[in-house]
Structure 1
Amino acid sequence: MVIAELKARAAGRRSTTPSSPSPTTSRTAHVEAAMNAARMAGLMTIRIIDEPTAAAVSHGLHHHLRDRGNVLVLHVGGGTIADHFTQLIKHNHGVDIADDDLAFTNLKSQCELAKKMLSSQATAQVNLHTNLANGGVFSFSGSLTRAQFEKLNHDLFQKVISLVDTAMAETKRAAGFDMIDEVVLVGGSVRIPRIRELVKNYFDGKDATATAAASISGGAAAAVEPEEAVVHGGGLLSHPMEDGYHCLGAGCRRQIGSPMDRCYHEL
């Protein structure tokens, strides 16, 4: 088990309570799974925290906004490129990659690489050479330009901004504020220049934090990859320093500053 192995590696080191970041959806199922896994690994206590909270902590915003501040955490996934090439392969070669788990997994890996390349260059190549479930072998090579990529994802990009707009409206109605001090982008898709541009324009030119390359007020610079921000924040909350961050507990996204007993789950 992964958790048991991590526990063994940490034996003898300073630690408090292991943290398990929880998605904002399917929370109950995730909490139950995390607690069962921790119990099987011999852990007595586990801390469940929100993924957005963990992402904010990974960027040091608990130091930067120690007195008061509002943080928007935007998590953007992906998958449109894989869908595009799946349809292209089926149309041109008569092979349905979507029905082959291994082949589709390999295609998604190649598409993820292409997406990252398109963040810094105009064209990316997708090369696939994979075994098929029927025992055959399939090879494919195709290219994708950034313009094509942005056209494929136009509706999804607009949906991201629409969801941000909805979240802002709900927050203003529920909490009475509409000012955002920091914007944190999480997930591999936030590398996409168009998404960063749309978010920046929405917040009147405010730059978002995706990889904290610059120093953060109150702490040292931290190179946090957007795909790793949640895990990194969870790790920090598992090993709090003397002046570190107090866990908020699951579901306490609007309150920053005080520890809460319910963030600990006794097993």
Structure 2
Amino acid sequence: MNDLAIGIDLGTTNSCISVYTKGRTRILENERGGRVTPSFIYFQPQGSIFVGEHAKSMSVQKPENGIYEVKRLLGRQFDDTYIQISLQFFPFVISSGVSNRPVISFEQNNRTIEKTPQELCTIILQRLKKYAEAKLNQTVNKAVITVPAYFNVTQREVTLAAAKDAGFTVLKLLNEPTAAALAYYFNNNITENHISLVYDFGGGTFDVAILQKKIDNVEVLSVGGDTQLGGHDLDNCILDYIFEVLRKHYNYDATMYPDDKRRLRIKCEEAKKELSWANEAVITINGMVAEHPRIIIKLTKTLFEEKTDKLFKKTIDILHNCLADAKISRELIQEVILCGGSTRIPKIQEMLSDYFGGKQLNKFVNPDECVAEGAALQAAMLSTSKTQNIEQLHMVDVVPLSLGFDSFGHAMQIAIHRNTKIPAKGFWRYVNKNEDDTSSTVRIYEGERTDTRKNRYLGILFIDGLTPAPPGQRHVTFILNIDNNGILTARAEEELSNNVREVKVNYTRGDRSEFEIKNSLLAAAENQKIDEKFKNFVKIKKYVNQYLRSFLYNLHKRNLGEEYQSIQIFCEETKYNLDYMEVDQEKRVKDLYKEMKMKCDPIAEQHNFDYMPKNE
């Protein structure tokens, strides 16, 4: 059995494979000798499938059969804003499939074929696996695969499923900026307590991470990012400009023709790259508009920067909020590490350097390869292969906001506190309210407020078939677990029987910007007195509710309803009204508490009622 493990950067634009053996990392080239492989698939109408550089060149024949940017479609709904905006730029057809998931359709062998983003990623990963095995001359089944730090749980699960279908056992999903930092730390003598910032601007996504190097681990202090911001969005800014020029000056709508969109996109991408070293790029369009066989559009660096200024500034805003969340001033950042192809753009480097007071930026020799190298290092650390012995350096991420459950009165029952290191696990034991409760539903929230209605709803967990038991005598344990891949699982277990339910919840940093996280923490701090008052109110309200339920249970079990009819009516009305009382009625609840104790305590003591809650 072969235990050699590789690292894979499954990129939006390009993918890259790396392996660590015998004390060094190396990039595994593709069949053409390329160190990176375009994440591009072409389905030849006659049935063949091409991946990479050859696929890009072949797509000239039939642009609608050339598929790219698949990673940005992973785990999304068809009506997702990004997909709807992007429809005008893609030459291929995207439509709504099962459960509103996007599917890509094309013609092959005289019939319409549909592929999901997961299936397309599997095709790319299968080809990467083939390249790796050819270079290493052995079977390779184990891999660490990188994902954007802001991928949500659905996107991570789809990535795992695609890799599994491609024949891989995934040892870990590693966040891309963390992988870049790992590669940087490995290649440089970094001292303890060193604080670095990774600015990862790739073709399809943007991530920023602040990390601290300790003795034997790297701790992630904060993360920011946007899974809809990358080099392709810069291309789209140029493409929008070209569409506008063609409509305005040549009365031609290129968005109506897949071949035109493909040709123009390639020219826009080339112009963007050219402007990294030149002050002007020329886009020449031949044979597109009948009345104008040759069209020349000049694009200056100044115009490019003007068109993309909002996107550049957005990355700086995300970076700024990331620093604020980590409670670290920009002066404490010792290294600014650049990775991702879009960091070659001079304006981005200029803005970053200015933000950090003219600091020298640390650039990888090839920013397209560093993430794969970091993945290879992590793979070696998790490998059992003797050729991959490497010093262990543990990567430690944290939970950005507390996670918990909605309990009685909308009180937040925290299971995992914020800043808990990942992997993390927490639980809450729930007791039944009524004898005939045979099911239980609990809502899962994220946030720091004591009132769940002021936190963020994540999902729901339901368990049925519960064992009947007197009020307060049957326990269900609700468990939250965040694994190393950042996937949150909720689990319900009944303690009286082997009854278990489990659900995966849509949660990761990808659902929350650092700005939202910061605002959540500020709101909790500013409303501390309000939250404490709510907590005390729910406490007494919960006691009254439990007391009334147990009292009514005993009246029913002992056939005392007729003897104490007026007391029973009082208890039932109070229990009903209690559900609708809010914190501003705290005095009313306290008065009901006193009245309840005065009327019910003597009866409970006289008949020695069971399961009555202890006095507050």
Q: Tell me the TM-score normalised to structure 2 length.
A: 0.35
* Residue 13 of structure 1: how far off its partner (Å): 5.1
1:194 aligns with 2:347: yes
**Displacement of 1:68:** 2.6
Please name the residue that 1:87 is paired with.
244
Q: Any idea what SS the aligned residue of 1:125 has?
A: strand
Which structure's relative contact order is higher, taking Cα pairs within 8 Å and 6+ residues apart? 1
Distance in 2, matches of 1:35 and 1:96, equals 40
Alpha-carbon distance between aligned partners in 2 of 1:138 and 1:47, rounded to the nearest angstrom? 53
Q: 1:36 to 1:198 in 2, by over 3 A?
A: same
On the 8 A contact 1:247/1:259 being kept in 2, the answer is no
Separation of aligned partners in 2, 1:105 and 1:74:
29
CA distance in 2 between counterparts of 1:113 and 1:186 reads: 20
Q: Secondary structure at the match of 2:180?
A: helix
1:237 aligned partner: 378
Structure 1: where are the runs of 5+ without partners?
A: 213-222
| Residues in 1 aligned to 2:287 and 2:150: alpha-carbon distance in whole angstroms | 34
Question: Contact 2:141–2:168 at 8 Å: present in 1 too?
Answer: no
Q: 1:237 and 1:229, CA in 2 relative to 1: closer, same or farther beyond 3 A?
A: same
In the TM superposition, residue 202 of structure 1 has moved relative to its aligned partner by 0.9
Q: Does the residue aligned with 1:112 lie in a helix, a strand or coil?
A: helix
Residue number in structure 2 paired with 1:185: 338
Task: Work out which of the residue numbers 317, 320, 329 in structure 2 matches 1:165.
Answer: 320
User: Partners of 2:373 and 2:182 in 1: how far apart?
Assistant: 8
Per the alignment, do residues 97 and 248 of structure 1 end up closer, same or farther by CA in structure 2, a change over 3 Å counting?
A: farther
Change beyond 3 A, Cα 1:98–1:52: farther
Match of 1:148 in 2: 303
Residue 248 of structure 1 aligns to a residue in which SS? strand
CA positional deviation for 1:181: 1.7
Aligned match of 1:24:
149
Please give the alpha-carbon distance, in whole angstroms, between the structure 1 residues aligned to 2:155 and 2:193: 30
Match of 1:6 in 2: 128
- Secondary structure of 2:192 counterpart: coil
Q: State the superposition RMSD in angstroms.
A: 3.6
Gap change, CA 1:152 and 1:4, over 3 Å in 2 = closer
**Hey, what's the Cα distance between the residues in 2 that align with 1:25 and 1:116?**
26
Aligned counterpart, 2:395: 248
Q: 2:269 & 2:334 partners in 1: Cα distance?
A: 31
Q: Supply the distance in 1 between the matched residues of 2:141 and 2:359 (Cα, whole angstroms).
A: 37
How much has 1:98 moved relative to structure 2?
3.4
Tell me the alpha carbon deviations over residues 117-138 of structure 1, each in whole angstroms, 9 at most, x when there is no partner: 1111111112345889xxxx98
1:112 aligns with 2:265: no
Give the deviation of 1:115 after TM superposition: 1.4
Provide Cα deviations, 1:135-159, integer angstroms capped at 9, x if missing partner.
xx98643111112222223333333
1:151 aligns to what SS in structure 2? helix
In structure 2, distance between residues paired with 1:25 and 1:162: 16
**Contact 2:144 / 2:174 at 8 angstroms: preserved in 1?**
yes
* C-alpha distance in structure 2 between counterparts of 1:160 and 1:28, whole Å: 23
Pairwise CA distance, 1:53? 0.9
* Partners of 2:369 and 2:270 in 1: CA distance: 16
- Find the residue that maps to 1:207 and give its secondary structure: coil
- For each residue in 1:51-75, what CA deviation from the matched residue of structure 2 results, as whole angstroms up to 9, or x when unmatched? 1112223434674435232222223
Shift of 1:94: 2.6
Measured against aligned partners, the alpha-carbon deviations of 1:33-61 in whole angstroms (never above 9, x if no partner) come to 22212221333343101011122234346
CA distance in 2, matches of 1:115, 1:158: 18
Q: Which amino acid aligns with 2:265?
A: K
Counterpart residue identity of residue 167, structure 1:
C
SS in 2 for 1:18: strand
Distance 2:322 2:239 in 1: 28
Q: Could you say which residue in structure 2 is the equivalent of 1:96?
A: 253
Question: Which segment is superposed worse, 96-105 or 141-150?
Answer: 96-105
- Which segment is superposed worse, 71-80 or 137-146? 137-146
Number of matched residues? Answer: 242
Give the structure with the larger strand fraction.
2
1:122 aligns with 2:263: no
Which structure 2 residue ranges, 5 or more long, are not aligned? 1-122, 202-229, 382-387, 401-420, 425-482, 487-616
Mean alpha-carbon deviation: is it higher for 40-49 or for 62-71?
A: 62-71
Taking a change above 3 Å as real, the CA distance of residues 146 and 47 of structure 1, as seen in their structure-2 partners, is same
SS of aligned partner of 1:75 = strand
- Sort the Cα spacing of 1:13 and 1:239 in 2 relative to 1 into closer, same or farther, 3 A: farther
Q: Distance in 2 between matches of 1:54 and 1:34?
A: 17
- How many Å apart are 1:109 and its aligned residue? 2.0
The normalised TM-score by structure 1 is 0.73
* CA deviation after TM superposition for structure 1 residue 227, in Å: 3.6
CA–CA separation in structure 1 for the residues paired with 2:312 and 2:485:
37
Q: What SS is found at the alignment partner of 2:194?
A: coil
Task: Give yes or no for contact 2:284–2:296 (8 Å, CA) kept in 1.
Answer: yes
1:124–1:143 contact (8 Å) kept in structure 2 = yes
Within 1, Cα distance between the matches of 2:267 and 2:287? Answer: 11
Q: d(CA) in 2 for partners of 1:247 and 1:62?
A: 16
Aligned-residue identity in percent: 25
> What is the Cα deviation at residue 12 of structure 1?
5.6
Partner of 2:333: helix, strand, or coil?
A: coil
- Report the structure, 1 or 2, having the larger helix content: 1
Structure-1 separation of matches of 2:128 and 2:311: 37
Partner of 2:554: none
Q: 1:71 aligns with which of 190, 193, 196?
A: 196
Structure 1 letter corresponding to 2:320: D
2:198/2:339 contact within 8 Å kept = yes
